[in-house]
Structure 1
Amino acid sequence: MKKKIHQLLVFSFLILLSSCSKDAYDDYYERPDSLEPPIYQRLESLGNFKNLLVLIEKAGYKDILGKAGYWTMMAPNDEAFTKYFQEQGITDVNKIDAETAAKIVRYALIYNAFRTEQLSDYQSATGWVTDNAFRRRTAYYDGFVNKTINGESKVIVGANRNGAYAIGDNNNKYISYFTDEHFAAKSLSAVDFNYFYPNAQYSGFNVMDSKVTQADIVAENGIIHEVNKVNLPLPTLEQYLQQNPKYSKFRELLEDHGLVSYYFNQDVTNTYRNYTGKSDNVYIKFYDPTLSFSPNNENYLKQADNDGQSDFYTMLVPENGPLQEFIDKVLLKNYTSLNVLPQYIFRDFINAHMVQNAVWPSKGPAYSNALNENLRFNFNSDIVEAKILSNGFFYGTNKIQKSNLFYSVYTSAYLDPKFTMATRIMNDGSGLKEMISNINTKYTLFLPSDAKLTEMGFGYNATLSTWTYVNPAVGGASATSAIARARLLRILYNGIVQTPNGELNDLSGSGIIRSGDIDLPGEYIKWNNNKLYAAGNEVTGGVPVGIVGYEDQQNGRTYYVDNLLQYSEEMQGLKIKRLSETANSQYLSFFNYLKNSSLYDAVTGKIQGVELGTSYTFVIPNNAAIAKAVTKGALPTSVSPTLQPDKDLVTDFIKAHILVNKTASDDGLTTGEFETLKKDGFGEKIYVLVQSTPGTLSFRDSYLNWAHYIPAQSNNLADRSLIHLVDNYLTYQQ
């Protein structure tokens, strides 16, 4: 009984306490008088947003903006609407339908509240990046669109990633603005603003081409910036292309040749059906993932959630006239129609006109396109139209980007169906494409056709993505795909020659030149009266390479050839042997010592320590120099000695005249000290100094003895090697 009375007293006390503290409780949690009203009410109180308020109600946003949330509103004032009515030919706000009202209101709404000083900062995943932003995501998105695709009506949505789609992302449009802080940080100016908006005035804070007349109007649920123009949602790069017939040729290249696909998506279809009550299937429109970006993607790269605040895309699009001229003169030079061009040509052409960054006009030439080429447009004379769109800068141009791929010696194979095998291997990561398409470096290209490669045993299995090679000279023996590719790659590299001064424009005389470029030297090839020889073509019975035609490109000349510049697969010793067998051969004395030494295999011609596929220079003393070496005791008198010290003397002498990992000629490309096969008594390498200038070649040993090459009998080709006759022998430490 006492317990119950005690509980009743405690309960009565709590009621009394509660009633006494209610006023204090209400005072603590009551909305402060100093707090500004929500955005809707704030616009009402300001008095000059009557038209906008009507549209907010018509768009169904009164309740949203009149209560909670966290927004920035770029709010057009009544003066802005007066101008808009005149432009649209309407009398008042009541003539604006609900759909247009929603566009105006939602595009004016930015997620999250930003004061002026915050709008220039990029919200990165690691924190705010000062003055690095000029865009923000709005509440507006296009959503589902009805399109006729190949004669069939479809409901589609655009990709919201580059080459992909993320469920739950509406692909919201962005709005661009321009502030002094961002312009100063990026070294931009009013010149950049007026390039896009020539009839507007840069004020230091513009939302597109409208001026912010009053900034940082505080509301309970966000920030209002008053603007003097009604801004409608901007089109994407894709939409702008579709709207402008003067760029229809470019759009056809982009959309009608396999770079666009439509894929049914069940999740998106379910959303559409739930939202509309309709039964249509929904397809996502994707662009080829190898393109720099998807022109319908509003989200920039999405490598970070907000990266669209700080950057977006650029597309430079030629008008129909210059593009048609390019199609006729370049793309269709060797093809009957665009429909038969390989798809990679369309990819490359479009990528040549894409930049994965915002290309500001004052800095245009400093940017590179998706092919890593500098932009080759004069932004003062080549741009006929400049637009800021929702996901990028659009530049209409009166010329095409003169891409390396379409104006270099690489083009000769790339745009001709007779050379698809050469093009394929150049494009497969070999590095050949990047090398010979560089229009800043001059090359000569010797190009074999598919027919010739097939005749010589090469092929490509497109189904299995494998190279094939069947040796027509060795009973039809076949090679693995890797070996077949390596063989073809080496042959084609023999036909790529860096020629900065057009050294091979006239092949009527004779000479020798190194293939490849400075960074990756190739093997030597020779020419004589319009016939070419690589080491494999000089083998007994080898067939030279003839010229069947040529064309000049911006970075050199392409010769069309009737044979392959074959590499040699025989040991270098066999070549030295043949050189010794000619009448009155000056190689004979050296070879007599070589063939009787323990270094030489008479069957294969292999010299111990010399391997196929490695670069060598053979410095062969002539008969007089060998006689001198015998007199000086550098060689034994007998070419076939029986005593071991004399045998060792011969072995060391031969090794001292073979340079390892270096092929030296009289072209001035090779100068310095290079190792030989010879090692001293301590196992240390013996080196020879090589001096080369155009037309001269000399070798010096450690005793300062010089051996000079004899031009008429030097520069003999072997596997990755040159064999020279010299007028002296090289000595070495015993």
Structure 2
Amino acid sequence: MSKILPKFLIVGLTFIFFLSSCRKKEFDDFYGRPENLGDPIYQQLQAKGNFSKFLDCIDKAGYKETLSAAGSWTVFAPTDEAFASYLKDNNLTEVSADLASKIVRYAMIYDGEKVERLSDFFSVKGFIKNSAFRRRSVYYDFVYDGKDNNGNAIKVIAANRNGSYLATDFNNKNITYFLSPYMTFNGLSAADYNFFYPNSAYNGNNIGAARLIDGQQNIVAENGVIHVIDRVLTPPQSIDQYINEKPDYSIFKGLLDKFVTYSLNIDISHRYEVLSGKAANVYAKTYSTLLAFSPNNENYLKVDANDAQQGSYSIFAPTNAAVNAYAQNVLLKYWKKKGVNNLNDLYVVAPDVIKDFVNSHLFTTTVWPSKFATTPNALNDFTTRVAADVVDKQALSNGFLYGINKAQNANVFATVYGNVNLDPDYSVMKQALIYFGLIPALKTPTLRYVVVMIPDVTLRRMGFNYDPFYASAPIRGDLVALKRILQTHIIALGDREIPNFSTGSGILEASNGEYVKYAAGKLISAGTQDSVAVAKQSIPVDSISTTPVNGVAVYGKEALTYTVLNIGKHIEKYGTLTTDPYYYFFQLLNNNIIYTKATGVIQGTVEGVNYTVFIPTNSAIMQAVKDGILPGNVTTGIPTTAPTDGLDVTKVSKFLLYHIINKNTIASDGQKIGQFETLMKNDGGDAAKITVAINTTTSLMLRDVIGRTANVLLNPADRSNVLSNRTVIHQINNYLKYQF
């Protein structure tokens, strides 16, 4: 028994050893370091023998261990020749520890990527081909010396979000590259690259001002990938850092500073003390969310964790001379009469103007040099600047900067809305336009308008005002009435020429479908023409501003009001006497079941809806009698204006309703032609139609359902283009015949 046991143990131990050896081999085969995997980045650079200066920087920066150990890095490694050029160009004999740290940390980006993958955006959903031109480097700025809004010296750290700071984010700078897959896919060329780097040759393998050296790309290491470059790269400044150090932009910087706040950050204050050994309060410098982005934010939108790979900011920074010129000619043009002579004072009384001016120069997307005309800014404008206006260009860490010698002429200032926006005498009108959402169209340069200006003094006299202390309802007064009045003062021009308001005459449709007439330097609306005082029946045009890029602003001292009378009352005005042009039509209407005499309401019309009334002449109505269309004496043509027979009453009501177009106002302005529904309907509820066959400023012809025509009488002595309640009334030389 004693002899058997040792033999058994020997066999068992041999089996266990053999089994363990097999398992170790399997483990090593699966998890072990592959034989064909290169050494770590640091050791490979050592072995190549042409990176002594870069390795020296790695040592000084304290990154030897990092680049010799496990990890996943992409390293853009400059050669010794690149360092020799760098030292010569910068009059240096050696690289300091601080500079070494900047060079090394900026040369390292997170995740080991081959060149073929660098143009792909690594999104949360996976790689998106040819949509990336940047990667996050290891380098970030920390606490720096700055000044608060009162000029006091403080310790500052830059915001790492738009409008806020997160202590868990290091605000890493991004390295920008210009690789063929991205450039070609996005329609970019050497010109886009050389705009920023005129002294570097473009070959589609450019990393900032450097180039990837042929045959020395995609060097796979145990802990990442090495790409050899021909220049030493240092971290570029952020937009905020660059503008703050350039005196040429000091005025624009001063405007940016008005949107800056400094907030004490306890976490960073503690971290600073631990790292520096010095106790100090550290303040996060954040820009207001009123601006499109924070110029010191090194991240992008952070909708996706890595979205800075595919997007960056852009800024068109106007020089001091450009800001001053624009301020004097545009921003302060109307404010000078109020004693406001500089932008600081303007910010106090009209901060929204300064906000819009600043934002008009900010772009939340990458504006490539070849894409100026197609990339909208924060106000959704396209830049008015061209390459010839650019006096400075920088590819910075968080976006492109273009220094310009002419300020952006923003649509909020350059269009017809600009006249309201910038003139303090029209502040109530401005706030009301904003409140009612009427601004977007007016500030669109491709949409042409006439805006008739309403002074504050006029609106206040009418009972309207603006009070910002009532946040939910800052516009005081009858809002329904005010909106209707404002819409009457907005006239779309389309492709028409600007009317000759000084000596010409005509009729124009306002944005609410009502019409305004002009003649010999005066404006007329349905409300003004109803005024008892003759002097109030029209508004004299005091002046006209033709500077807007999309139309004109017309100035007067009164408002174009609407009438409170119903349509029938305006027909009655010209239909009471036997000699009146609307006499027979009104008599038929006045005695018909569709009409309410007391109010002037015509059955089928609805408050708030637009109409057009075509009134046949008295002789045309007499012809309708002779033709049996209307009741009356078929020999003389004298109509029976108050028939008692039911069929005759129906004949009259149908005749009247067929001469009223429903839901549309039509005037002799050359704008509307085609088929339109009338108020007359058949038993099935289908509306009878009239066709406007010709419409010019001198001719308006109609056609009924059986092809008969009628012309609107447009001579001055005739009663056409008469303004009523959301309605235009015309006289026609023939009656219109319906048929069902």
Q: TM-score, normalised by structure 2?
A: 0.90
> Residue 545 of structure 1 contacts residue 562 of structure 1 at CA under 8 Å; is this kept in 2?
yes
- Which has the larger displacement, 506-515 or 722-731? 506-515
1:335-414 map, 5 Å: 335=335, 336=340, 337-338=342-343, 339-341=345-347, 342-379=350-387, 381-414=388-421
Structure 2 counterpart of 1:488, from 466, 482, 493: 482
Q: 1:304-330 deviations in whole A, cap 9, x for unaligned?
A: 222211221221122222221111111
| Residue in structure 2 matched with residue 695 of structure 1 by the alignment | 698
Q: Which residue of 1 aligns with 2:635?
A: none
1:586 corresponds to which residue?
Answer: 581
Instruction: Find the aligned partners of 1:8 and 1:331 in 2 and give their Cα distance.
Output: 103
Mapped to 1, the partners of 2:262 and 2:12 lie a distance apart of: 68
Mean Cα displacement is larger for which, 179-188 or 715-724? 179-188
The question of whether the paired residues in 2 share the 8 Å contact of 1:247 and 1:317 is answered with yes
CA contact (8 A) 1:457 1:469 kept: no
* Amino acid across the alignment from 2:211: K
Q: For residues 656 and 148 of structure 1, what CA distance do their matches in structure 2 show?
A: 76
Correspondence 1:77-156 to 2 at 5 A: 77-93=79-95, 96=96, 98-149=97-148, 150-156=150-156
Give yes or no for contact 1:444–1:504 (8 Å, CA) kept in 2.
no
Secondary structure, counterpart of 2:574 in structure 1: helix
The CA distance in 1 between the partners of 2:124 and 2:382, in whole Å, is: 31
Q: Corresponding residue for 1:296?
A: 296
Match of 1:610, SS? coil
Q: Which residue of 1 aligns with 2:209?
A: 209
Equivalent of residue 534 in structure 1, options 525, 539, 542: 525
Structural RMSD (CA): 2.7
Seq. identity, %: 37
Q: 1:666 to 1:204 in 2, by over 3 A?
A: closer
Note closer, same or farther for the CA distance 1:503–1:132 as it changes in structure 2 (3 Å cut): closer
Task: Report deviation, 1:425.
Answer: 2.9
What residue number does 1:445 align with?
A: 451
Between the two proteins, the alignment pairs up a number of residues equal to: 709
- What secondary structure does 1:580 align onto? coil
The answer for the alignment partner of 2:170 in structure 1 is 170
Deviation of 1:398 after TM superposition, in Å, equals 2.0
One-letter amino acid of the counterpart of residue 729, structure 1:
Y
Could you tell which deviates more after superposition, 530-539 or 397-406? 397-406
Match of 2:66 in 1: 64
CA deviation string 1:117-164 (max 9, x = no partner)? 111222122222222222110011112233111223333332222334
Q: What residue number does 1:462 align with?
A: 468
Partner of 1:473 in structure 2?
Answer: none
How far is 1:649 from its partner? Answer: 2.0
* Deviation digits for residues 399-452 of structure 1 (CA, Å, limit 9, x no counterpart): 22232222222211111111112222333462x323233334443221011111
Q: Which residue of 2 aligns with 1:475?
A: none
- Give the corresponding residue for 2:558: 563
Is 1:524 the counterpart of 2:532? The answer is no
Alignment partner, residue 426 of structure 1: 433
Aligned to 2:609: 614
Match of 1:546 among 540, 552, 555: 540
1:307 corresponding residue in structure 2: 307
Give the drift of 1:509.
Answer: 4.2
Name the amino acid aligned to 2:735.
Y
How has the CA–CA distance of structure 1 residues 642 and 22 changed in structure 2, closer, same or farther, with 3 Å as cutoff? closer
Decide whether aligned partners of structure 1 residues 85 and 627 sit closer, same or farther in structure 2, where only a CA change above 3 A counts.
Answer: same
Distance 1:16 1:152, change over 3 A: farther
Cα distance, 1:676 vs structure 2? 0.9
Paired amino acid for 1:325? A
Q: Once the 2 structures are TM-superposed, how far is the Cα of residue 5 of structure 1 from its aligned partner? A: 13
Is 1:706 aligned to residue 709 of structure 2? yes
Query: In the TM superposition, what whole-angstrom CA distance separates every residue of 1:535-590 from its partner, at most 9, and x where no partner exists?
Result: 11122426222223332213332222111111222211111111224682111111
Deviation at 1:179, TM superposition (A): 1.9
How far apart, CA to CA, are the structure 1 residues paired with 2:474 and 2:83? Answer: 70
Worse-matched range after superposition: 578-587 or 223-232 = 578-587
Letter in 2 for 1:314: S
Code of the residue aligned with 2:368 in structure 1: it is W
Residue 189 of structure 1 aligns with which residue? Answer: 189
Tell me how far apart the structure 1 counterparts of residues 685 and 181 of structure 2 sit (CA, whole Å). 68
User: Which of the residues 507, 510, 523 maps onto 1:512?
Assistant: 507
For the structure 1 residues 682 and 207, does the alpha-carbon distance in structure 2 shift closer, same or farther, using more than 3 Å as the test?
A: closer
Kept in 1, the 8 Å contact 2:363–2:376? The answer is yes
Taking the aligned partners of 1:503 and 1:37, their CA distance within structure 2 comes to: 76
- Where does the alignment leave 5 or more consecutive residues of structure 2 unmatched? 633-639
- Distance of 1:425 and 1:8 partners within structure 2: 103
**Paired residue secondary structure (1:317):** strand
Q: Does the aligned pair in 1 maintain the 2:146–2:155 contact within 8 Å?
A: yes
Query: How far 1:671 moved relative to its partner?
Result: 1.0
What SS class does the counterpart of residue 545 from structure 2 fall into?
Answer: strand
Structure 1 contact 458–468 (Cα < 8 Å) conserved: no
Give the secondary-structure state (helix, strand or coil) at the position aligned to 1:522. coil
Q: How far apart, CA to CA, are the structure 2 residues paired with 1:171 and 1:581?
A: 81
Q: 2:106, 2:137 within 8 Å by CA — same for their partners in 1?
A: yes
Unpaired segments ≥5 residues, structure 1: 471-477
Contact kept in structure 1, 2:468 and 2:474, CA below 8 Å? no
SS at match of 1:218: strand
Would the aligned equivalents of 1:494 and 1:523 in 2 still touch at CA under 8 Å? yes
Equivalent AA in structure 2 for residue 187 of structure 1: G
**Corresponding position: 1:717 with 2:708:** no
Change (3 A) 1:726 1:13: same
Q: TM-score, normalised by structure 1?
A: 0.90
- Once residues 6 and 188 of structure 1 are traced to their aligned partners in structure 2, the CA distance between those partners, rounded to angstroms, is 84
Deviates more, 1:630-639 or 1:662-671: 630-639
Q: Is the 8 A contact 1:505 1:557 kept in 2?
A: no
Structure 1 residues 141 and 673: alpha-carbon distance in aligned structure 2, compared to 1, 3 A threshold: same
2:422 aligned partner = 415
Once the two structures are TM-superposed, the CA of residue 222 in structure 1 deviates from its matched residue by 0.9
Contact 2:432–2:475 (8 Å) recurs in 1: no
* Contact kept? 1:460, 1:466, Cα under 8 Å: no
**Structure 1 range deviating more: 600-609 or 160-169:** 160-169
* Aligned with 1:228 (options 230, 235, 249): 230
Q: The residue matched to 1:196 in structure 2 has which SS? A: coil
